[in-house]
Amino acid sequence: MNLSQQDWKSQLEADTNAVILDVRTEDEWNEGMIPNAILNDIYKGQGFLYRLEELDKSKNYYVYCKAGGRSAQACAVMNQMGFENTYNLEGGFMNWKGDVAFPEE
């Protein structure tokens, strides 16, 4: 499901069963990420799928990339794999107005 920036952020803040999933590359991730996100680069192909298999399908996944395209693809793949609740951030990280964190060195 696609959510606007505001809806994604407000729904995320109220969700006690949320996981934030960043599907960008590690280089993009290192330039800043949404706090508490986990990285799973969709360009890794089979590696991306393996990491998805390890995730708890009962959680609600808030997925983002740079502009919203890769994360929409990721949500579609996750839905096919049995994830029921995936939320794509429309406009992606480049339009994000919320807090930004940087990965630990």
Quote the DSSP letter at residue 44: G
- Span 14-37, pLDDT tens digits: 999 999 999 999 999 999 999 999
What pTM value is reported for the model? 0.96
What are the tokens at 98? 């919320």
* Set 19, 20, 65, 72: catalytic member: 65
Active-site annotation holds for 65 = yes
Domains, the chain, in order of start with CATH, read 2-95 (3.40.250.10)
- Span 58-98, pLDDT tens digits: 999 999 999 999 999 999 999 999 999 999 999 999 999 99
What pLDDT sits at residue 6? 97
What pLDDT sits at residue 105? 58
What pLDDT sits at residue 103? 86
Place of tokens 């406009």: 91
Other C-beta atoms closer than 10 Å to the C-beta of 19 total 18
**The pairing of beta strand 60-64 with beta strand 86-89:** parallel
Other C-beta atoms closer than 10 Å to the C-beta of 26 total 12
Q: For 41-59, what is the mean pLDDT?
A: 97
